[in-house]
Each structure stands twice: as C-alpha cells, then as structure tokens.
Amino acid sequence: MPIQTNDLTIELRGDEEQIALITLNRPTKRNALNDGLVLAIRDIFQGMPHSVRAAVIHGNGDHFCAGLDLSELSERNAAAGVHHSRMWHHALDQVERGPVPVVAALHGAVVGGGLELASACHIRVADASAFFALPEGSRGIFVGGGGSVRIPRLIGTARMADMMFTGRVLGAEEGERVGLAQYLVPQGTALEKALELATRIASNAPLTNYALMQALPRIADQTADHGFFTEALISAIVQDAPEAKARVREFLEGRGPKVKKQ
C-alpha cells in the first residue's frame, strides 16, 4: 500500500483490488492543495499497487477542491515560484501519464488548482452541485499547475481566457456543455458514477488502456503525418497481445458482447 497522509487516503476496492479510490481529505480547508498534499498525490500515483487497473479521485466534504492553498503563497520569489510550479507539473504528470486511467468525481468547487487537478484526469464526472472557476485571474496570479496547457485542450483558449479575465464561474451544466466534464449526474451521485466507469475501464485489456493514456494524447500533439505513423505502430502492438486475439475470437464465436445502444 502506498504512503498515505491524513489529507490524502487511498482505499482499494473490488474483489481483486483493481480500483483505487483516492480521497482529498481536508474538508475544513475545502481540500485546498498545500505542498504536502501535492507531493502526496505524486507519491500515491508513483507507488500505485500493481493490482490497480483504474483510479477514482474525489473530495471529502462539500467541495472537490478549492485549488492552491493560498496561505502558502506568501513570500515566494520568482525562482521559488518556478520550482513550485514545476513541482505541481511533476505531481500532476503522475496523474495524467501515470500507471492507470483516473476518473475524477466532481462536486461543489472545482476551482483554480482543483480544476488543474481535474484536467489531469482522464474522465471527469460532475454532479449538479459542481462549479468551475479560475480565480487566479482576480487574485493577481496565474495558473501554475499545468492549467494553461491542459484546460485549453478541453475547452479552447478563448473560454479559458474568459474564465480568467472575468472570473466567470461555470455551473455543472455549462461545464459539461463546454467540455470540462464528460458526464453530468444528479447531485450526490458523482462518486457512484465514477466508480462504475472505473470498474468498466478496469475490465479493458491493459494494453488498450495504456495506448489510450500514453499514445492518444501524444498523437494529438503530433502533425497528422506523424500521428498516422504513431497510430499504425501502437495499433499493431495492441492487437498483437494474446488478450486482444482472445477478445476478438470470443466475438466471432458469438460469445463476446455486442455493442448495445444505452
């Protein structure tokens, strides 16, 4: 079991402990991320038990996460600021390019660094109480946890700039409509839905999940010509796995699941 702190816990779920439920557990501070918590996120993903095939991250209390712990911002000079931002980058990179797909279960405030953390996850489920904002703009600071790279890829540069210029707060429905969340569910049910999705993801062939996490975003960063070539390589590797052959055979022999309208 990886190292946990009181502010960040991990619980393994499922018969084979294939789902990791990670909880931001600082509800009195609305799960604001201090340095210890950011490093704990890094450590938990770096030390993920081998049984885990998918993770869910959520926040204890009424909010997912209030972003950077502003009480730690005080006297940092420019050099320390660069190192601090790079520390966030390294930690959230362990989420995005780490060992397993991660589903974020969002409710209440998903703001500042909390939105940066959510954007490093692979799927976001928002319940009706969720709201999204980037208050950095009005606090005289800038995003530093990878938000300027990841958030425009979800919603476009113009929408992110609007959120920072004007302090615009997007409600759950609007957040889902613009692409901050892929699922919108009734209040109080984000965690249940996220666990359901994680269980489904965990049943995929591991190499397919690996390709989705590692190849797909890199292909999106490549030129079309390079992307087609990378796609050919990764698809050849994925289809070569015995598990892929077995799954295709199952379907052809009438034993595999059909695609059903939901």
The residue from 116, 196, 243, 253 that is catalytic is 116
In contact, 180 and 132? CB cutoff 8 Å: yes
**59 touching ligand 1HE, by CB under 6 A:** no
The residue from 11, 136, 196, 231 that is catalytic is 136
Please, which residues have CB within 8 angstroms of residue 99's CB and are 6 or more apart in sequence?
A: 45, 48, 52
Question: Is 116 one of the catalytic residues?
Answer: yes
Minimum Å gap between C-beta 139 and ligand 1HE is 6
Q: Give residue 98's Cα distance to chain centre.
A: 10
User: Which residue, 148, 114, 262, is CA-closest to 197?
Assistant: 262
**29 touching ligand 1HE, by CB under 6 A:** yes
Nearer to ligand 1HE, 99 or 147 (CB): 147
Residue from 21, 22, 24, 32 in contact with ligand 1HE (CB under 6 A): 32
**67 touching ligand 1HE, by CB under 6 A:** yes
In angstroms, the CA 182 to CA 172 distance is: 11
Handedness of CA 38, 44, 47, 53 (dihedral sign): negative
Query: What SS3 state is found at 133?
Result: strand
Minimum Å gap between C-beta 63 and ligand 1HE is 5
Please report, as ranges, the residues that interact with ligand 1HE according to CB under 6 A. Answer: 29-30, 32, 63, 66-71, 88, 109, 111-113, 135-136, 139, 141, 143-145
Kindly list the catalytic residues. Answer: 116, 136
